[in-house]
């Protein structure tokens, strides 16, 4: 049976500090908060919905994301042009977010930037104009 899906509904990410995550995602990356509760932040990330869960007693404050565990490796968002990608790189630099700069994908002629959130979750911004 083929699933009758319209696509990915949302991504849920666990964070250690919801206030810190809100600052990073809303203030630095420009995600639009849609719902804010003491343990949940739901954002519109340029057309994709991402739910951030935090402040759980079961989550240790010193725990960090590990892309080598089974599960999520990274999250990538599309960027419409090379100019927008360069602008995001400058914005990340000004905000003090370490990143790998604009790099070329080895398997396709596409540029991207990779960086990590405060919990070590790996993110990429991909130029989608060439896809």
Buried-exposed string 49-77: b where 16+ CB fall within 10 A, e elsewhere = ebebbbeeeeeeeeeebeeeeeeeeeeeb
Q: What pLDDT, on the 0 to 100 scale, is given for residue 100? A: 96
What residues contact 2, with CB distance under 8 A and at least 6 apart?
none
Q: What pLDDT, on the 0 to 100 scale, is given for residue 106? A: 87
| Superfamily of structural domain 73-131 | 2,3-Dihydroxybiphenyl 1,2-Dioxygenase, domain 1 (3.10.180.10)
pLDDT in tens, the chain (131 residues): 777 777 788 999 999 899 999 999 999 999 999 999 999 999 999 899 999 998 767 767 677 777 777 778 899 999 899 899 999 999 999 999 999 999 998 888 889 999 999 999 999 999 987 55
The third-level CATH classification (topology) of the domain covering 6-56 is 2,3-Dihydroxybiphenyl 1,2-Dioxygenase; domain 1 (3.10.180)
User: DSSP assignment, residue 60?
Assistant: -
How many CB atoms neighbour CB 39 within 10 A? 10
Q: What is the DSSP string of 7-42?
A: S---EEEE-S-HHHHHIIIIIIS--EEEEEETTEEE
Q: What pLDDT, on the 0 to 100 scale, is given for residue 105? A: 87
In this structure, the strands spanning 48-53 and 11-14 are parallel
pTM: 0.85
Is residue 12 within 8 Å of residue 39, measured between CB atoms?
no
Q: What pLDDT, on the 0 to 100 scale, is given for residue 130? A: 57
User: DSSP assignment, residue 99?
Assistant: B
Report the run of H or E that residue 87 belongs to, with start and end.
helix 82-94
Q: So where are the chain's domains?
A: 6-56, 73-131
């Amino acid at each position: 049976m083929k699933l009758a899906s319209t696509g990915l509904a949302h991504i849920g990410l666990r964070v250690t500090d919801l206030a810190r995550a809100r600052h990073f995602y809303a203030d630095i990356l420009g995600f639009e908060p849609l719902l804010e509760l003491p343990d949940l932040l739901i954002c519109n990330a340029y057309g994709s919905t991402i739910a951030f869960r935090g402040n759980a007693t079961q989550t240790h404050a010193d725990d960090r994301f590990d892309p080598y565990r089974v599960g999520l490796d990274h999250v990538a968002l599309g960027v419409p042009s090379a100019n927008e990608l360069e602008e995001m790189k400058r914005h990340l630099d000004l905000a003090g977010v370490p990143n790998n700069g604009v790099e070329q994908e080895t398997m396709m002629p596409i540029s991207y930037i990779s960086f990590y959130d405060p919990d070590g979750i790996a993110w990429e911004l991909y130029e989608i104009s060439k896809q």
